[in-house]
Chain A
Amino acid sequence: MNSTSFVEIENLTKVYSSGKIQLCALKDVNLTLAEGKFLGVTGPSGSGKSTLVNLLGGLDTPSSGRIKVQARDICELNKEELALYRRYQVGMIFQSFNLIPSYTTLENVAFPLLFAGVPKRQRHQRAAEMLTRVGLYPRKDHRPAELSGGEQQRAAIARALVNQPKILLADEPTGNLDSITSREIVQTLADLNRNQGVTVIMISHEELLLQEFADAVIRLRDGQVVEQQKIR
């Protein structure tokens, strides 16, 4: 393995057990990714894509194996440290956007800063900057229900980046969007990746978009990497 790798995954296995039934979501996955790359992850439903992203995002812990981010094994972090990792190192976006319905766009974007202990005025200032960057500032006082799908996803991207993380994890961010909007969103992610050096790992079924924007694509099936394709 390359010691300069930004993300380094070794023999990563995740087994879910419910009662006597054991489900192996990831099986001996090995992967390296350099800083500032755009990695696409694809594969059929139930192939372990989301599990991989959740493990990378520190939302879940593996059954065995290692995930090193900037040479630090996040599997060895305790709950508090893992929370800090999620807060400052990674940003996540989801297929269903996961914005808080009762909050305005600005409040949603400012939300992660709350846990970082940033004072209210600065929170709103930074959130406004992020909204400007994704072109959503005029809609800052609207609630998610008043936004289109694409706008909601852009708000979610702004929220994911407000703490200036190094990695952006996107779990099927275009799954709920039409093709034109999907392209815009992936374009936004690619711009952030190129202009700001944010490492992006994106799950998507849309091969064409991945081919167009990703630096590399891996294909998962039954919890295993079955194909690694380098595009650029």
Chain B
Amino acid sequence: MRMSDYVEQSFSNLARRRLRTFLTTFGVVIGIGALVSMFAFGQGVQKNVAGKFKELELFNYVNVLPATVQEQSQRKPALGPSAALRVNSVEGMKEEPQQAPVLDDDLIQRMTQIEGVESAFAEIRFPAMVRLREKERFSLVQVLPANVCQAGLSKLLAAGEPYASDDANCLIISDSLLHGMKIKDAKTVIGEKVELSTLRFDPNLFSPAAIASVMQGNELPFSRDSYTFTIVGVTERTGFGGFVPVRSDIFIPPGPSEKMKKISLTNIGDFFSAADRLGQGDPASRERKGYSLVTVKLSSAKYVQPVKQQVEDWGFKTFALIDELKEIKRAFIFMDMFLFAVAMIGITVASLGIINTMVMSILERYREIGIMKAVGASDRDVKKIFFFESGVIGFLGGIFGLALGWAVSVVINQVANFFLAKQAVPYADYFSFPWWLCLGAVAFSIMVSLAAGIYPTLRAARVDPVVALRHD
């Protein structure tokens, strides 16, 4: 028998029982579809998330945090070579027996001297009321040096451009904040004035009388100071607005920030210690406790390890996203394995469906097999005919499974992006279909179907033509 005849026979035999072929193939389609979309998701997340991080140069940043006192005491030897460090020696702080190194402007200056460091800047965020076009929104403002703004944010701008000077009275606003204010067209706000009102904890207002007045529905014991800025840029919706996973909606240069009276916070803990810690923007008192977070931008990810080493030797904690990537990759492997297991269950059930269908088909075509043998088909011919039929079910299941997997992934991708867009996450393909996945899915489907066809095939070859052709 010719190869083309086997293929044609298989298709026409399967077409004879369309419903059953459809149902059996559908089982395979579901299994393969699940497998494909799951693999595509694993691939997509790995490729696009890592790709996005790389694009935003997130791997080029190291965050430096002050070590806590307890951690510091465990790291005593590290203090040795960094004797030049300014340590906390202010009077009236004797409650703290251990003295931790301070993250201050001096240290930032020192960090910029390390090889590979492009810039280092304190991560200062503070809450402010944003007033634009008669609308007010409460938002987080982040202080970002002009050079970092140009290097890091310029790629994310939907309109306008990054500010050029650290002293410019300009800011960059996020598209999601504009959306919150019902401003649809980002371009129209460029050049507009925006008012930032900072909140300042005012001890004078913090009196029993004030608390009583709050209870009666009056304002909180905070005082407000207003500052006017010009919008120069709008960032597109992004979850990566900051370099730590906290979103900021407004970015301003350090110059104007210095002059503002505000409370600063990088985490919720700061909110409660802010008054003490940052002395309400007073540079002298800031030196006492330092910043709670400094971001170091490197020229390349290859400097991450040496810079981390150096900064840790000085007695600080560090955090680099690139370290997390290893963990993330490991998580992906586990996720892939889990998805694979789920898909395999589907495939196993589909295989049983194939076996069932093929056995049924052989019982129905018992006489036909007898005829085949009577007119000269060898056992091998009979085996091949049924083997090809299994293979064709697998082939169709693979092709349509791939299509189903793709269709499902498109839907999930759209839905996921729709909801993530509300959280200002930029559009991304969470599914990826590399060529090996497409080919592999079809090949795997055929292989599984052929394996499922082995038993029915052997049964078909064993049919005794004398019995099959006996006149009833």
Contact = CB atoms under 8 A, between A and B. Distances in A.
A5 interface: no
Best-surrounded residue of A79, A88, A114, A159 (most CB of chain B within 10 A)? A114
Contacts of B4: 120
Interface string A78-97: 01100110111000101110
Contact of A94 (B5, B16, B469): B469
Contacts of A119: 2
Interface stretch (A35-43, A53-61, A193-201, A204-212): A53-61
Q: Would you call the interface of chain B mostly helix, strand, loop, or mixed? A: helix
B374 A57 contact: yes
B379 A114 contact: no
Interface residues of B, number: 26
Nearest to B370: A98
A86 B472 contact: no
Interface in B372-387: 372-381
Nearest to A80: B378
B367 to A, nearest CB: 7
A156 to B, nearest CB: 10
B112 interface: no
A107 to B, nearest CB: 9
A116 interface: yes
B376 A79 contact: no
A159 B371 CA distance: 11
Contact of A59 (B367, B465, B471): B465
B9 interface: yes
A150 B54 CA distance: 80
B471 A114 contact: no
A111 B375 contact: yes
Interface string A21-58: 00000000000000000000000000000000010010
Contacts of B375: 86-87, 92, 111-112, 115, 159, 163
Nearest to A172: B471
B9 A80 contact: no
Interface string B362-404: 0000011011111111111100000000000000000000000
A220 to B, nearest CB: 17
Contact of B373 (A59, A99, A116, A120): A59
B164 interface: no
A65 interface: no
A80 B380 contact: yes
Give the size range of A's interface with the partner: 20 to 34
B2 A115 contact: no
B205 interface: no
B471 A115 contact: no
Given A96-B472, A120-B5, A115 B374 contact: no
Nearest to B379: A79
A163 B376 contact: yes
Contacts of A112: 375-376
A60 B16 contact: no
A102 interface: yes
A117 interface: yes
A116 B2 CA distance: 9
Nearest to A54: B466
A117 B376 CA distance: 11
Contacts of A80: 378-380
A163 B377 CA distance: 13
Nearest to B6: A114
B374 A114 contact: no
A149 interface: no
A111 B471 CA distance: 21
Contact of B471 (A54, A84, A95): A95
Interface string B336-378: 0000000000000000000000000000000110111111111
A115 B465 CA distance: 16
Interface in A154-174: 159, 163, 171-172
Given A96-B472, A102-B16, A175-B471, A115 B466 contact: no
Contacts of B466: 54, 59-60
A95 B472 CA distance: 10
A84 B375 CA distance: 9
Contacts of B1: 114-115, 117
Nearest to A83: B378
Contacts of A102: 16
24 contacts: A57-B374, A59-B373, A59-B465, A59-B469, A60-B466, A79-B379, A84-B376, A86-B373, A86-B374, A87-B376, A88-B376, A95-B471, A96-B471, A99-B371, A100-B371, A111-B372, A111-B375, A112-B375, A114-B5, A116-B376, A119-B2, A120-B5, A159-B375, A163-B376
> 8 closest A-B pairs (Cβ-Cβ)?
A87-B376, A83-B378, A112-B375, A86-B376, A59-B465, A95-B471, A115-B377, A96-B471
Interface of A: 54, 57, 59-60, 79-80, 83-84, 86-88, 92, 94-96, 98-100, 102, 111-112, 114-117, 119-120, 159, 163, 171-172, 175
Given A80-B380, A96-B472, 6 more contacts: A59-B373, A88-B376, A94-B471, A98-B371, A117-B1, A163-B376
